[in-house]
Amino acid sequence: MKETALREALNTSITGCRPSDYWKNHMVRQIVKGEKVKTGTKLSWNLILVIGLLLLSVTAYAVIQSVTLSPRVDAKVLANEALYEKYGLTPAMLGFFAQDAQGKDDHHWHVDYIPDEGLASRLGAYRVEITDNHVDKITWTNEGKSTQGGFDAEAWGPEQLEEMVNITGRTHDVNRFYRKIQGEDVNLYEGMDDPIPEETIALQENVSEEEAYREAMREQGKDAEARSRYSREELIEMGRQGIIDAYALSQDLQDRLRFCDEGVLIPYYYQTGADEIPAFKMTFEIGGNDGWKAGDGIYTIDINVLDGTVLDGFRKELEESGKDSKAQSGYTREELIELGHRGIIEAYGLNPEQQERLQFYDTSFFPAYYSTIGADKKPTYNMTFQSSGEGGWMEGDGVYTIIVNVLDGTVEYLDYDTTLDGNG
Amino acid sequence: MRKETLVPGSISEEELIRLVDTYSGILLGVCRLTLGDTAMAQDIVQETFLKAWRQGGFRQETEKAWLIRVAMNLCHDYHRSRWWKHIDRKTPADEIQIAEPDPAEQEILAMVKDLPLRERQIVILYFWNRMTLSDIAQMLGVSQSAVFRDLEKAKKRLKLELEGG
C-alpha cells in the first residue's frame, strides 16, 4: 500500500464526518447548562501498575534517545536503571513507591523511592545518588535485614515485591499487605483463583511487554558491545568521519562537529534488522554560542560494529528516492539549510531570542532529505528545525517543517507544531 | 503558512461554539475511525468538549492538539472498558452525515480498523495528523519506544511501502 493512498483514505474517513447543526447546538447547550452529558462507564485503573507503566515509560526514553529530557527526568531514568541493576527491581515493583528527585544543581541529584507509611517498615525506602549522570551510591533503609521467609521476613525485597505485583494484579487489593504488616492473620493469596479483570490483563500485558522490550534491548546492547571488533574510540572516529563524508562538511563545520556524550544523547550499542546486526548509535552536534550558522544541528549516525560500515537503511531509501531532486539542485546542502532557516524566521517573524533557539535537525526521526512535491513533482529539500532551550517552553518553541524548492529556492511548504514543555 | 495560536485563560460560550463548529467533525471522524462505533464516538466528542469547557482554556498545546489528545485518551479508556460493545445503540440519521469512501479506500480503511487500537491511533496521528513520534508519545502518554515499535508493527500489517516524500 502506498503511503499517499493511506493518507487519502484516512482523510476521507475523518473529514467526511459532518455533524448536523442540530447535534452541535444540542451538545453546546448541554455543556453550558451543566446538564449531564451521556458518557460511558469510566474504567477504574490498577494504580500500582499504572505507576509502574509510567516509570517504565520514563526509563524507556533512554533506549531510543532522540528526545531531550530535563536533568530531573535524566536522574529518574538513571535511578530506575540503577535499582534494576543492583536489586532487580522492575518498574512494576517500583509502583509501590513514590519517586521523588531532588537536585542541588543540574549535576548532583538524589532520587528517593518511598513507600506508603503502612508498608514502609517492610519495604523500606531506596535512595540513588547521582553526580554528572553517574550513579554514586544506592542505599536501602532495610539493607542488612533478612528477606528470607516470604512475607514473614523482616524486610520485603525484590522477591516479595514481585509476589506483591502478582497478587495485586490478580486481586486489585493492596490492603491485605497493610493488614499483614499490622499483624493480622490474613491469607495474602485469597481470590487468586478468580478470573483476572480484563483491564488488568491489558495493563499487565502492557507492562510486561514494555519490560520485556526493555530487557531485550538491554541484552541486545550488551551482546552488540561484546561482539564489536572496534574500540569505542575507534567507533566514535568512524562516526565522525561518516558524518563528514555523508554531508560533505566544510572544514569549518568539521572543526565545530562535537561528539555528544551526556544526558539522552549518550551513545549506545544495539542490534538491528532481521540479521541482528550489532551496531553503535552516536550523536554529534554542530553549534556554538556565536549564533546559528548553516549546518548547525544534531546529527546521528549508526555504525556496524563488525565491519565499520555506516548503517542507515531509512536514510538510504530516502536518498535513493530523492536522488533526482538532488541532481537538479542549484544549491549546496548548506545553502538549502540556510534558506530553510531564513524562511522560517521570516515566515513566523521570530525575534532574535527565538532565532537563537532554532536548531536544524537531521536524525533518524527528523531526517532532512531530497524529495518532490505536488502533481508537477517540483524537486525539493525537506527539513526540520526544532526550537527549544533552557528555561522551559517559550513562545515560538516547537517543531518547524520547511520544504524548499531546490531549483529556485522558494518555500513550497511550511508547518509549525508546538510541543509540550518537556520538563517533568 | 499555518501557525496555531494558544488560547490562554477561560473560554466563553462563544469560544465553545467556535471550537465545536471547527473541530467536532474531525474529532468525530478520528473517534469513529478509532473505535468503529459512531454512537460511542459522539459520546467521546461530547465529553472532550465538556473537558475543554471545564478546563477553562489550553496551556501549552494548540487547541487542536489538546482536543485530539483528550479524545484519543478517552477512546483508549472506553475501549478497555468493553461494556459499550454489548449495547446496541444507533445514531439517528439526521445527526451525522458520513461521506462514503470509494472501494479502494474502503479496503484500506478495513485494514486500518483491523489494527489493534493503539496501532490504529498511532497510524491516524502519524499519517493523517502528520505528527512526530515524540509528539505522539507525549500525546498518548506512552514511551517513544512504544510508539516507534507500534508504528513499525502497523506498517508491516498494512504492508506499507516507503515513499520518498
pLDDT of residue B30: 93
Identify whether residues A307 and A212 lie together within a single domain: no
Q: In a mutagenesis test of the A interface, which of B4, B21, B95, B105 is the best target, namely the one with the most A β-carbons within 10 Å? A: B105
- The sign of the dihedral angle between the CA atoms of A34, A36, A37, A42 is positive
Q: C-alpha distances in angstroms, A340 versus A295, A384, A403?
A: 11, 9, 7
Q: Band the pLDDT of A392: cuts 50, 70, 90.
A: low
**Mean pLDDT, residues A408-422 taken together:** 67
Q: Any chain B CB within 8 A of the CB of A406?
A: no
**Mean pLDDT, residues A204-209 taken together:** 55
Q: Quote the Cα angle for A160-A161-A163, to 5°.
A: 65
Strands (E), chain B: 96-98
Q: Is A131 helix (H, G, I), strand (E, B) or coil?
A: strand
Instruction: State which of A172, A194, A219 marks the end of a domain.
Output: A219
pTM (whole model) above 0.90? no
The most confident of the ranges A49-58, A258-267, B129-138, B148-157 is: B148-157
Q: Which domain holds residue A290?
A: 232-311
pLDDT of residue B121: 93
- The sign of the dihedral angle between the CA atoms of B69, B70, B73, B75 is negative
Which of B97, B148, B160 shows the shortest C-beta gap to A3?
A: B160
**Mean pLDDT, residues A270-276 taken together:** 73
pLDDT above 50 (res A58):
no
Q: How many domains does chain A have?
A: 3
Specify if A3 maps to a domain.
Answer: no
What stretches in chain B show pLDDT beneath 50? Answer: 1-9, 82-89, 162-165
CA distance B51 to B38: 20
Lowest mean pLDDT among A36-50, A148-162, A341-355, B52-66: A36-50
CA distance A204 to A196: 10
The most confident of the ranges A39-53, A259-273, B138-152 is: B138-152
pLDDT of residue A418: 55
Q: Band the pLDDT of A145: cuts 50, 70, 90.
A: very high
Q: Which of A233, A95, A98, A245 is nearest to A164 (CA)?
A: A95
Q: Band the pLDDT of A137: cuts 50, 70, 90.
A: very high
**Mean pLDDT, residues A271-296 taken together:** 74
Radius of gyration of chain A (CA): 26
- Give the type of residue at A160: Q
Q: B54 φ, ψ to 5°?
A: -75, -35
**Beta-carbon separation of A9 and B148 below 8 A:** no
Q: A361: domain CATH number?
A: 3.10.450
CA distance B74 to A263: 33
Identify whether residues A120 and A246 lie together within a single domain: no
Q: In a mutagenesis test of the A interface, which of B145, B147, B151, B155 is the best target, namely the one with the most A β-carbons within 10 Å? A: B145
The Cα of B10 is separated from the nearest Cα of chain A by a number of Å equal to 13
Identify whether residues A63 and A201 lie together within a single domain: yes
Interface of A with B in 58-87 (CB under 8 A): 58, 60-61, 63-64, 66-67
More confident residue, B114 or A76: B114
Q: Which fold has domain B1-99?
A: Rna Polymerase Sigma Factor; Chain: A (1.10.1740)
The DSSP bridge partners found for residue A111 are A101, A128
Identify whether residues A196 and A64 lie together within a single domain: yes
Which of B45, B60, B165 shows the shortest C-beta gap to A418?
A: B60
CATH architecture type of domain B101-165: Orthogonal Bundle (1.10)
Q: Band the pLDDT of A150: cuts 50, 70, 90.
A: very high
Which of A15, A58, A66 shows the shortest C-beta gap to B25?
A: A15
**Mean pLDDT, residues A139-145 taken together:** 94
Lowest mean pLDDT among A52-61, A133-142, B135-144: A52-61
- Give the type of residue at A36: K
**Beta-carbon separation of B50 and A24 below 8 A:** no
pLDDT of residue A290: 60
Q: In a mutagenesis test of the A interface, which of B5, B35, B46, B96 is the best target, namely the one with the most A β-carbons within 10 Å? A: B46
pLDDT of residue A73: 56
Question: Using a CB-CB distance cutoff of 8 angstroms, which residues of chain B are in contact with residue A382?
Answer: 165
Specify if A19 maps to a domain.
Answer: no
Lowest mean pLDDT among A7-11, A276-280, A316-320, A378-382: A316-320
**Beta-carbon separation of B128 and A14 below 8 A:** yes
pLDDT of residue B149: 83
**Domain spans, chain B:** 1-99, 101-165
Identify whether residues A210 and A268 lie together within a single domain: no
Specify if A129 maps to a domain.
Answer: yes
Size of interface A-B (CB pairs under 8 A): 230
pLDDT above 50 (res A51):
no
Q: Is A286 helix (H, G, I), strand (E, B) or coil?
A: strand
Cβ-contact A402, A411 below 8 angstroms: yes
Identify whether residues A207 and A136 lie together within a single domain: yes
Identify whether residues A304 and A355 lie together within a single domain: no
Q: What is the DSSP letter of A45?
A: P
More confident residue, A172 or A405: A405
Pairing outcome for strands A297-304 and A358-362: parallel
Instruction: State which of A149, A184, A219 marks the end of a domain.
Output: A219
Q: Any chain B CB within 8 A of the CB of A332?
A: no
- C-alpha dihedral (A157, A160, A166, A169), degrees to nearest 10: -70
Specify if A347 maps to a domain.
Answer: yes
B13-35 and B38-55 are packed helices; what angle lies between their axes, rounded to 10 degrees?
150
**Mean pLDDT, residues A364-387 taken together:** 80
Lowest mean pLDDT among A352-366, A401-415, B33-47, B98-112: A352-366
The Cα of B78 is separated from the nearest Cα of chain A by a number of Å equal to 7
**Mean pLDDT, residues A174-182 taken together:** 87
The DSSP bridge partners found for residue B140 are none
Identify whether residues A288 and A405 lie together within a single domain: no
Pairing outcome for strands A108-115 and A97-103: antiparallel
**Mean pLDDT, residues A296-307 taken together:** 83
**Beta-carbon separation of A40 and B45 below 8 A:** no
pLDDT above 70 (res A421):
no
Question: Using a CB-CB distance cutoff of 8 angstroms, which residues of chain A are in contact with residue B145?
Answer: 60-61, 63-64, 213-214, 217
pLDDT of residue B120: 92
**Beta-carbon separation of B33 and A14 below 8 A:** yes
Q: Any chain B CB within 8 A of the CB of A262?
A: no
More confident residue, A43 or A51: A51
**Beta-carbon separation of B144 and A40 below 8 A:** no
Cβ-contact A382, A371 below 8 angstroms: yes
**Mean pLDDT, residues A166-188 taken together:** 83
Identify whether residues A266 and A185 lie together within a single domain: no
pLDDT above 70 (res A164):
yes
Q: Which of B63, B41, B136, B54 is nearest to A34 (CA)?
A: B54
Instruction: State which of A219, A243, A263 marks the end of a domain.
Output: A219
Alpha helices in A64-195 (DSSP H): 71-87, 91-94, 120-123, 158-171, 175-181
Query: Can you spell out the DSSP letters for A22-39?
Result: HHHHHHHHHHHHTPPPP-
The DSSP bridge partners found for residue A414 are A402
Q: Which of B132, B106, B83, B15 is nearest to A28 (CA)?
A: B15
**Do the domains B101-165 and B1-99 match in fold?**
no
Q: Which of B119, B125, B130, B110 is nearest to B153 (CA)?
A: B119
Q: Any chain B CB within 8 A of the CB of A153?
A: no
Per-residue buried b or exposed e for A396-417, using 16+ beta carbons within 10 Å of the residue's own CB = bbbbbbbbbbbeebebbebebb
Identify whether residues A307 and A331 lie together within a single domain: no
Q: Is A333 helix (H, G, I), strand (E, B) or coil?
A: helix
pLDDT above 70 (res A322):
yes
pLDDT of residue A161: 92
pLDDT of residue A46: 36
Average confidence score pLDDT of chain A = 77
Q: Band the pLDDT of A61: cuts 50, 70, 90.
A: very low
Strands (E), A78-159: 97-103, 108-115, 126-131, 134-140
Longest CA span, chain A:
82
Which of A1, A371, A415 shows the shortest C-beta gap to B164?
A: A371
pLDDT of residue A151: 93
pLDDT of residue A32: 77
Q: Is A345 helix (H, G, I), strand (E, B) or coil?
A: helix
pLDDT above 60 (res A36):
no
Q: Band the pLDDT of A198: cuts 50, 70, 90.
A: low
